[in-house]
Amino acid sequence: MARGEFLDVGAERGAFSRALLAYGYGPGSLIEASPANVADLERAFEGNADVTIHGVAATAEDGHAELHLAADASGAASPAQNSLRRLDEDDSRRWHESVPVRCRSLDSLAREGAIPSELGLVKIDVEGGDRDVIAGMGAVRCEALMIEFWSAVDSVEGVCPWTLREIRDLLEPLGLTEFLYVHHRANVGVEVVESEAEPRHGDWGNLLFMTPHLRRRGADGIAFVSEWAHRLLAEHASAREKEEQIQILAHAAEERLGVIERLDRARQDHEREIAELRAALVDS
């Protein structure tokens, strides 16, 4: 696969983009709707001329919407679950608040020159809104496109809001007629299935669409793409897990700091009461 420009739609805090850059891809355009995540991305990639960040939500057409910000059961931010869709809450996810965001289609961004119209890879991860992003691609073309795929997951994702057939119908006119299913199986690991995808309840994975030219590139083209997908997804999962652990530790640290501050206030109140009692005894 050519080491070319990439587009990371739903960049969150940049774990996937960092993996792409480390693997030799670039420059990259990152699209992220959450203002807090955009601020983190700007800090993380400050001074990196190969990275451009766009603080918008990618959808089928330009406009405005509400982005629902997710929190876990303890109330800590869960940015990986932010979504334009407000689904039912569950035991591990809550909706914290909503913020207004600007919506842009990829076609609109490309026509004004904000993102390239010719790309090596487009990655989309927008919590079920992938079909709308693809519907808004317009004149944007790429060699490969990756999205998440599942049937039904017992969490806020719920049932996948689109079918594989719907996505194929949108991508085939764009030249992306071939695909692999990078399947994540609990207690099994990752496996690559060619040209079919039938996730069972609770299963999930990534669909990697590509042009026939990319698939024919060399006798071991598919093996290369499969290895690339394995490695990249493993790096992304590792980085994402580390970020989640950092968030858990940060939340725990904030809680401990709160306890320390409350204890310190209690100590000060106790010392003040003792001083007042001593003063009263002296006066008496």
Where along the chain do its domains lie? 6-243
Is residue 212 within 8 Å of 222, Cβ to Cβ?
A: no
* pLDDT reported for residue 68: 83
Please list the helix, strand and coil fractions of the chain in percent, rounded to the nearest 5, in that order: 40, 30, 30
* pLDDT reported for residue 49: 94
The domain made up of 6-243 is a member of CATH 3.40.50.150 = yes
* pLDDT reported for residue 245: 47
Low-confidence stretches of the chain (pLDDT beneath 70): 1-3, 87-93, 152-158, 184-203, 215-264, 266-267, 270, 274-284
Residue 204 has φ and ψ, to the nearest 5°, of -155, 165
* pLDDT reported for residue 224: 45
* pLDDT reported for residue 192: 57
- 10 Å Cβ neighbour count for 160? 18
* pLDDT reported for residue 278: 67
What is the token pair recorded at 175? Answer: 């030249």
Tell me how far apart the alpha carbons of residues 234 and 244 are, in angstroms, rounded to a whole number: 15
Residue 280, burial from CB neighbour count under 10 angstroms (0-12, 13-18, 19+): exposed
Tell me how far apart the alpha carbons of residues 216 and 233 are, in angstroms, rounded to a whole number: 23
